[in-house]
Structure formats: C-alpha cells, structure tokens
Structure 1
Amino acid sequence: MLGEVFSFVHLNVQEFLAALYLATDLSDLFNQSTMSDLLKSAVDKALQSENGHLDLFLRFLLGLSLESNQTLLSGLLTVAERSSHHKEDTVQYIKEKIRENPSTEKSINLFHCLNELNNHSLVQEVQEYVNRRNHHPGKDRLSPDLWSALVFVMLNSDEKLDNFDLHEYHPSEECLKRLMPVVKASTKAVLCFGNLTGESCANLASALSCSSLIELDLSYNKLGDSGVQLLSNGLKNPNCQLKILQLCNCSITDEGYTDLASALKSNPSSHLRELNLDYNKSGESGVKLLSELQEDPHSNLKKLL
C-alpha cells in the first residue's frame, strides 16, 4: 500500500519545492565555481522564457543559495559547505543582464533577484535620482539599467500610481518605452509635447488592452494617421478601459478620423466618452463618422472636440 500522497497545486509552492530540490539534492555535486555557473545558467533560462514561468523559481533558488539560508537547511543538505558560492559573482552577472536586456518587464524580475541576494545598490542609486528629479524634473538622463531600476522602484512603491507625466522624467520615445510598465499601472498618462511619433503608438495600443488607463493625453505629438491607426487597434480591444483621449494637434487627417470611428464602432463595450481632436487636418467625411457615433444612443462617446 502506498503512503500518503501530497499534491501542491499552487504555483508558488511548486516553484519553491523545485528550487529547494535543486538547492539540496544537488548541492553536494557542485563546488564553488560550478554552483555559480548553475545560478548563472538559471538566470539565462529565466530570461529566455517568453511567459516568465521560471521567474519565481529563480528568485527562490537565489534566496536558498545564500549562506545564511544554507545553514537553516543544513538538515536537508548532505554537504552544505559545498553549495556555497561567491555571491558577488552572481550579483554582478545579474547586473550585466539588466544592462543588456532591452525588456523592462524582464529586468523587473532581475531586480527581485537582486533583492533575494540582499543587494540594493541599483535601487539606492535610482532613489537618489528620484530625489534629484523632485528638485530638477526632466534634467537627468538615466542609463538603461537605471531606467529599469526606476520602474522597479515606482511599481513597488507604497504610493498609488494615479498620474504619470512624461515631463517629470524625459520627454522622448526612449523614456516612454522604458517606463511603459508604469504607464500601464497608472490611471492617467500625460504624454503631451513628448517628442513622440507614431512608433510609440504600437506600445500604447498594447498597453490599452491590459492597463488601468482611464485618461490618455497625447496632444502636440507627431503621431500622424499611421500612429492613430495603431492606437485604434488598442481602442478596439474589449478590455480597454479608456474614457478620455486627447489627440489635439497630432497631424491627423481624414484617414485617422475614419480609423478612430471604425475602432469605436467595432467595440460596443468601449468606455470612451470624451475625444479631443482639435487643431488636426480633418475632412468632412471623418468628422461626419465621429459625429454620427456621438449621436448613436448605444455609444458612450458624449463629448467630441
């Protein structure tokens, strides 16, 4: 007769047990250099994962690799001393990966990994930047790793992310791309006069389908019809929560107006109630389509400028 069988359904428990198994059952097979190699390999595999399914496993494994935790696990380890490694080597390797990685989302998990290794140097550096920014907004330029650190700090802050203003950092497409996770977590994003082009609209369209954004101001950017077409793809998504969209003076013509009207018409669950298109190059047909939508009793669009 088989003994008791336990089933651990929650993903966090599964990830922890997997990390615990690797940290204990295999610890006697690794010397100092190979244990470090194992951790670096785990970092690489987590970064290669498209859905992030190794992120928690990696955090647990790095935490268990610390000497203080190895001591606590001494009853499970065959030779605890052999699983120790030079922590600083792993810390520096993770920092290199943060600098190399263009994805802010993937870098965020690496900052959690640094926390597991009790290293907060990049976060402390970006905290100093935040303090300087409060006195001189938009003056400093950050390196890619510190952009990621800034996102990590803001997303893990106790303060609620209500309004995001690009001018508090640096009005550019690069800055917007780096801080996109913060934009997604905010309810209002002010991106006017941001030196943005249509290229930014692809990321914004994706953000509209999975964010808290209720108000978005893109006025006085050279988005053009191509940018508005991309943005319209986000407005079509039934998960889009946007209620107010400001597109004043964005070089939009009749074609862009038509794309906006088509997007809103194709999404009966659209929440958009206010649309500002002042100072654009519209024609009669585009304005007519949007005006008809405004008059439609089934449409939420009530204010059209």
Structure 2
Amino acid sequence: MKDKTLSLSDLLHVFYPETKEMDISSDEYKVLFIFDGLDECRLSLDFQSDVRLCDVSESASVDMLLMNLIVGNLLPSALIWITSRPAAADLVPSECVHRVTEVRGFNDPQKEEYFRKRISDQSLADIIISHLKSSRSLYIMCHIPVFCWISATVLEKMLSEAESGEIPKTLTQMYTHFLILQTNIKQEKDYEKTVKDEDMILKLGKLAFQQLVKGNLIFYEEDLRECGIEETEASVYSGLCTQIFREELGLNHGKVFCFVHLSIQEHLAALYAHLSLMKKNRNVFITLSSSPLKHLKKALNVSLSELHQIAVRKALKSKNGYLDLFLRFLLGLSLESNQTLLRELLTQTGSCSYNKEETVEYLKQKIKRNRSPERSINLFHCLNELGDDSLIQEIQDYLKSGKIRETKLSSSQWSALVYVLLTSEQKMDVFKLKLFIGSQNTADEVLQKLLPVVKESKLVQLMDCGVTYEGCAALASALKSNPSHIRNMNLSLNKVGASGVKLLSDGLKDPHCKLEKLRLGKCGVTDEGCAALASALRSNPSHLRDLDLSLNKLGDSGLKLLSDGLKDPQCRLETLR
C-alpha cells in the first residue's frame, strides 16, 4: 500500500472492517497496535520528517501514518508493540521506546538440549555436538535455532550414512551442503517439471541478492517476475524445496514470499554473486544505471579477488552490518573444497584465476586500518572461512605466555584480541580491565579497544585502574548498546569526576541499559554528579537496584537531590551506600 493516500481510520477499515462502527479515537477504547516484523517493512519510515498528523481522519501516505502513530502524534494514548531483528530496531527513536525485551536464542546448555531432542540416536547426537564445538564459528552460530536445525539436517545425514566428503567446518560448507540436500528432496506428489533445479537456484539467487542489497526480507509477485520466476514455478519449487523458499497469504489477501531464514537468503545471494562472475564475468555490484558508460567495461571486467575487495568495502560501509554474513559466504565459496561441492549442485560453475593470498592480505590491511575492532570482527570470521588464522595464533600465543600486558599491540592485534576473547570457549561473563593494562596502554585506551568485549560481559571489574572521563564515554556507549548485557559495574577508586558520572547517568537512562549494580566509591562524585544520578533514578527504563557512593564528598544539596530521586515512583533502587 506504499503508493496509497488515506487516513488512519480508512486504513483500519481496510484491514479491520469492524472498526467502521467504532470511534477509535474516543476514550471508550484502549487500543494496542502490533507491528510484527518492523525489519520486513517495505515502507521508508522517515522519523526526521516534519509532517505532523494528529487527526485520525486526516489523509496522508501510509508511511507517514505509521511514523506519526509510532512517535505518538496520532492516537497518543494507544499502545504500540513492535517486533524486529536488532538491526532495524534502532530505526525507532529511543525517546519513543519505553521497554525493550530481547530474545537471545539458545544458550550453550540449550544448544546441546536441542540436538539431543532433535536426533534420536544419542551417540550420533554426541558426535554432532562434539563436532560443532570443535569449530567455534559454527558453535557460536548455534544460538540461532534455525542454524541448529540446518546443522542437524546436514550432519545427521552425513554422519549416519557415512557419506564421502569433508564434514562441514565452516558456515559456507554447512549451507552449501544444506542447499544440495534440499534440492535432492523430491516432492512426494508427481508434477511436470517445467524448470530445472539449477535454473531455479540461479533465479532464487538473483532474487536473494537484489532484495538483500535493498534490505528486503519479504517479496511480492512483481519481485519474482523481475528475476524471471513465475508464480507457478515458485509454488512448484517451494513444494520441492520447502526448506528454502516459501509462500504465505498476506493480510490483504495477496501472496508474499520469503526465504525460510535470512541466512539462507544471504547464502543464495553470495552464490549468485560468485557464479555471475565465474560464468558470465559479471560484477553484480555494477549496474548500467549506476555507472558512466566509459567506466562500465572496466568495472564489469573484474577478477574474483577484485570482486572480493569490492564486497569487503561495501560490507564495511553497510549500515548495521547487513552484508556481513553475505561476505563470509562469498569468500568461502571461492575455496576449492566448496567449488567441488558446487559441482554436485550445478553442471557448470565456470572458472577464473584466483589468488587466495591476495584476498587474505587485503582483509588484513582492512583490519589494520579499521579503527573499530567491532567492525573488524566479521573480517576475522572471513579469514576463518578462508582457512587463515595467523593473526589469531599470534594473540593466543601472547595470552598463553601471560605477556599481553607488556606487549605493545598493533591495531590488527587489538582487533584479533577482541575476536579471540569473544569467540573463546571460556565465555567472558566477567571482564577484568587490569589483566590488559600495562606500561604500554592507559585504562581509557584499553577500554576503547576492547569495548566489544565489555559490551558482552555481565560484570565489568574496573576498580583502581585509572579510568577517567574518556573511559566513561566508552562505558556509557556500552550501557546504551543494543543489546546491553552489563548488569554489574565496579568503578570504585577511579578519577571519574562529575563529568564522567554525567556520561554514565546518560547511559543509565537509555532504554537498552539493564545495569543493576553500580559502584562509584571514592570516584570524585560531587553535587553535580548527584544531580545526574538523581535524574537517572527517575527515568522510566532505569533498572538500577544497588548504588555505592561511599567515600565521596557529597554536600547537603547533593544528598537532597538524591533523596528527591529516591522519592520518585519510577525509582527501583533497593540499596544505597
């Protein structure tokens, strides 16, 4: 309905005819809107727009109606519940959000429980669990239930039937095996096969790629036709291959299509990008409309290494990292072992010269130049797909020798350290800053370098480490991160000061922050800092239960400010020292 203009009342009447008998804006009704899957929305919700709608009978475009409803201009008394993948949740301004619930998927015991319930042969389940644990990149992905299902489907068949071939150790191998399995599943009911599996995979790959770069996860019939897929073909193929592509009936009685999971779409998109170059020497990132004709010939005639470099640059620039998994698959497909697998799937895979070391070196250069260790994490996953662990090995050697504090790490090594700590079998629920501070680095520098690790920790132990205002800025961003896992933070005996406390208080007010315990003993907290903390205690999303302000020189005005904060009904504090 993106091209239609109508009022909110009209829109409700279309989907819920019974509302024609109701005055939806009257006090008689309490209204709850549920937007299930904001990340699948094809409308561009512009929250910066100046268009303000307050009357439910006022006509506007559908995206303007939704935006004004979400920010509270239309029906301000209405409740709104939004579900979304994390990447799209940040589209909604934080001041509009009063409560955030996070579904984290499986924890480690639940991963094992899934395989033991899914696979009846317990000795086989043990072998599968052991294999997945031996590959950290696979085991980490098992927090996604769909990935557990994919892994179980592939590994149960490969291990129980003693099939030849290497047991998958990387994401690319796992998903390519899964695709082969699904295309081999024959539909029970006979039908006239009007399209080859191979042709349909390429068409689905084109659809997957085109919609992925647009950020679309659901598609309509016109999207299918653009890629040469007829609706009848899609229906037949979804019968043959129900585990990859499916069709559903939309609310407005129109058919919508989607891949069973975003990761399957990303794998098919990477397969399409790879095969377009190998078979047709075509760079999928270049279109006639986006490139001057004089540059087009040169742009289209690229090597596989050059395509990889283009994809790396686009992934690093992409908002919310939506091309990260696509990049891992694209690089992984270039390995000879995966080329062999593809030949089981496709009669022609094409060929071109390729120097893997060129891509590996390019990734390492990007890691070196990238100031954000967080954005470099996916590049290490890419190196893992390509079978290169040289940077990781360096850091593991430093950690084993206990010399990490005395070593002046390069930017690449800091990024490698983040990756090692985040993918370690020993999950870092407790982050101890002192383990990493030496003569070569200040506490603030280390905090900024290891911020992705801090964000994943439940207890952040920073006592007597020399943390200042700059370190507090990093910690505040960790408290605001989506999702934020920190529950307990000890900053006692640091020179935090009023400005640092103000930054931390801003973090406490954020709807994503879940901090329950904060220690600021002897941190230079003043009356100004008390004002900031009192404001945080009064904020709606504050989860703080325990606050330690001992050994600070608080005046009467500071204590009065805190007392006012404690009186507020929003305050949940139980212990104050």
Same fold (TM over 0.5): yes
Report the Cα distance in structure 2 between the residues aligned to 1:260 and 1:78, rounded to whole angstroms. 65
SS of residue in 2 equivalent to 1:102: coil
Letter in 2 for 1:71: T
Letter in 1 for 2:232: G
Say whether the 8 Å CA contact 1:114–1:120 is kept in structure 2: yes
Asked if residue 23 in structure 1 is aligned to residue 274 in structure 2, the reply is yes
Asked if residue 282 in structure 1 is aligned to residue 549 in structure 2, the reply is no
Report the alpha carbon displacement of residue 156 of structure 1 after superposing the two structures with TM: 1.1
Report the Cα distance in structure 2 between the residues aligned to 1:162 and 1:105, rounded to whole angstroms. 18
Higher mean displacement: 138-147 or 28-37: 28-37
1:259-274 → structure 2 map (5 Å cutoff): 259-267=532-540, 269-274=541-546
Report the alpha carbon displacement of residue 296 of structure 1 after superposing the two structures with TM: 6.1
Question: 1:14 — aligned with what?
Answer: 265
Say whether the 8 Å CA contact 1:27–1:78 is kept in structure 2: no
Report the Cα distance in structure 1 between the residues aligned to 2:323 and 2:365, rounded to whole angstroms. 19
Report the Cα distance in structure 2 between the residues aligned to 1:76 and 1:22, rounded to whole angstroms. 15
Report the alpha carbon displacement of residue 137 of structure 1 after superposing the two structures with TM: 6.4
List per-residue Cα deviations over 1:131-174 (Å, max 9, x = no partner).
122xx563333221111111111111222222110000115211
1:226-305 → structure 2 map (5 Å cutoff): 226-267=499-540, 269-294=541-566, 299-305=571-577
1:188-199 → structure 2 map (5 Å cutoff): 188-199=459-470
Report the alpha carbon displacement of residue 33 of structure 1 after superposing the two structures with TM: 6.9
List per-residue Cα deviations over 1:211-265 (Å, max 9, x = no partner).
2111101122222211111111111123322121111222221101111011111
Report the Cα distance in structure 2 between the residues aligned to 1:76 and 1:240, rounded to whole angstroms. 49
Determine which structure has more spread, i.e. the larger CA radius of gyration. 2
Question: 2:384 — aligned with what?
Answer: 115
Question: 1:95 — aligned with what?
Answer: 364
Report the Cα distance in structure 2 between the residues aligned to 1:33 and 1:50, rounded to whole angstroms. 25
SS of residue in 2 equivalent to 1:240: coil
Higher mean displacement: 230-239 or 66-75: 66-75
Report the Cα distance in structure 2 between the residues aligned to 1:78 and 1:25, rounded to whole angstroms. 12
Asked if residue 156 in structure 1 is aligned to residue 402 in structure 2, the reply is no
Letter in 2 for 1:206: S
Question: 2:351 — aligned with what?
Answer: 81
* Match 2:478 to one of 207, 214, 221: 207
Question: 2:340 — aligned with what?
Answer: 71
Report the Cα distance in structure 2 between the residues aligned to 1:33 and 1:87, rounded to whole angstroms. 15
Report the Cα distance in structure 1 between the residues aligned to 2:568 and 2:265, rounded to whole angstroms. 52
Report the alpha carbon displacement of residue 278 of structure 1 after superposing the two structures with TM: 2.3
List per-residue Cα deviations over 1:16-51 (Å, max 9, x = no partner).
111101111321344997111111111111011121
Asked if residue 144 in structure 1 is aligned to residue 416 in structure 2, the reply is no
Say whether the 8 Å CA contact 2:342–2:349 is kept in structure 1: no
Say whether the 8 Å CA contact 2:277–2:304 is kept in structure 1: no
Say whether the 8 Å CA contact 2:443–2:471 is kept in structure 1: no
**CA RMSD of superposed structures (Å):** 2.3
Report the alpha carbon displacement of residue 299 of structure 1 after superposing the two structures with TM: 3.2
Identity between Structure 1 and Structure 2 (%): 52
Report the alpha carbon displacement of residue 295 of structure 1 after superposing the two structures with TM: 6.1
Report the Cα distance in structure 1 between the residues aligned to 2:573 and 2:339, rounded to whole angstroms. 60
Asked if residue 216 in structure 1 is aligned to residue 489 in structure 2, the reply is yes
Q: Which runs of 5+ in 1 are unaligned?
A: none
Say whether the 8 Å CA contact 2:538–2:568 is kept in structure 1: no
Question: 2:314 — aligned with what?
Answer: 45
SS of residue in 2 equivalent to 1:189: strand
Report the Cα distance in structure 1 between the residues aligned to 2:463 and 2:231, rounded to whole angstroms. 67
Report the Cα distance in structure 1 between the residues aligned to 2:423 and 2:514, rounded to whole angstroms. 23
Report the alpha carbon displacement of residue 292 of structure 1 after superposing the two structures with TM: 4.5
Question: 2:446 — aligned with what?
Answer: 175
List per-residue Cα deviations over 1:100-133 (Å, max 9, x = no partner).
0011111000000000100011111111111122
Report the Cα distance in structure 1 between the residues aligned to 2:271 and 2:407, rounded to whole angstroms. 43
Say whether the 8 Å CA contact 2:461–2:489 is kept in structure 1: yes
How many residues are aligned here? 301
Report the alpha carbon displacement of residue 208 of structure 1 after superposing the two structures with TM: 1.4
Report the Cα distance in structure 1 between the residues aligned to 2:398 and 2:404, rounded to whole angstroms. 10
Higher mean displacement: 194-203 or 73-82: 73-82
Q: 1:77 to 1:196 in 2, by over 3 A?
A: farther
Question: 1:4 — aligned with what?
Answer: 233
Say whether the 8 Å CA contact 1:172–1:195 is kept in structure 2: yes
SS of residue in 1 equivalent to 2:320: coil
Q: 1:182 to 1:115 in 2, by over 3 A?
A: same
Report the alpha carbon displacement of residue 270 of structure 1 after superposing the two structures with TM: 2.4
Letter in 1 for 2:419: F
Say whether the 8 Å CA contact 1:177–1:200 is kept in structure 2: yes
Letter in 1 for 2:446: C
TM-score of the two chains, using structure 1 as the length reference = 0.91
Higher relative contact order (CA 8 A, sep 6+): 1
